[in-house]
Amino acid sequence: MKEGGGGCVFPPPFYVEDTMVDFEVRLGVPDDAAGAVDCMRQACGETDYLKTSPENFSLTEEKEREILANPSTEGKYLFLFFAKVDGRIVGSASLSGNSHPRCGHMGVTGISILKDFWGQGMGRALMLAILEKGRELHLHGIHLDVRADNERAIGLYRKLGFIEDGRHEDAMRVGAIYHDLIHMTKIL
């Protein structure tokens, strides 16, 4: 891994199942705001694995720019990493938390990738960036929620050392269908 640009960069290419796509993963900067909002809006419309639906997506470019300019304020943090192909943001991962004395030692992460780029190694690269940032912040661990039928994501998280430590029955509803969420944690 090398330093550059707005943060850590994982050198491309990544190879997965005889496919190759050149991409970089780095910490977001304010100039990424428009592309990040476009990517997240599109991702919300491509899959119902995400907690936000297209109808409920309300993030603005202005708010995203503010978050990227000030990732750590008032005892809270929200770091955003982006996967880019040819300069276009096609995936993102977040690491959030707070400095509360009793629970500030744990971070929370979430990830989304545009459907055309699934299976290209971007999820792994984004999660590695999140884990590295967690270590840099001296977190004790990182946790996440994933829909129980998202086998591809669960497999990735397990390979990276996350363990299932809880299940929230019917925690997500898509239309008239309820889905369980699996809570997973990795101790750093």
Q: CA-CA distance, 18 to 20, in Å (whole number)?
A: 7
Q: CA-CA distance, 72 to 104, in Å (whole number)?
A: 13
Neighbour-count burial for 4-23, b at 16+ CB within 10 Å, e otherwise: eeebbbbebebeeeeeebeb
Neighbour-count burial for 49-61, b at 16+ CB within 10 Å, e otherwise: bbeeeeeeeeeee
Give the helix, strand, coil percentages of the chain, each rounded to 5.
30, 40, 30
pLDDT of residue 109: 97
Neighbouring residues of 13: CB distance < 8 A, sequence distance ≥ 6: 20, 21, 22, 23
- Extents of the domains making up the chain: 2-140
User: What is the tens place of the pLDDT at every residue in 61-78?
Assistant: 999 999 999 998 878 899
For the chain, percent of residues with pLDDT exceeding 70: 89
Q: Which two tokens stand for residue 65?
A: 């720019």
**pTM exceeding 0.75:** yes
User: What is the tens place of the pLDDT at every residue in 74-120?
Assistant: 788 999 999 999 999 999 999 999 888 888 999 999 999 999 999 99
> CA dihedral defined by 146, 152, 156, 157, rounded to 10 degrees?
20
Q: Which two tokens stand for residue 70?
A: 């000030």
Neighbour-count burial of 107, counting CB atoms closer than 10 A to its CB (0-12 exposed, 13-18 middle, 19+ buried):
buried
Q: What is the mean pLDDT of residues 42-52?
A: 92
Does the domain at 2-140 match CATH 3.40.630.30? Answer given as yes
Phi, psi of 67 (to 5 degrees): -60, -45
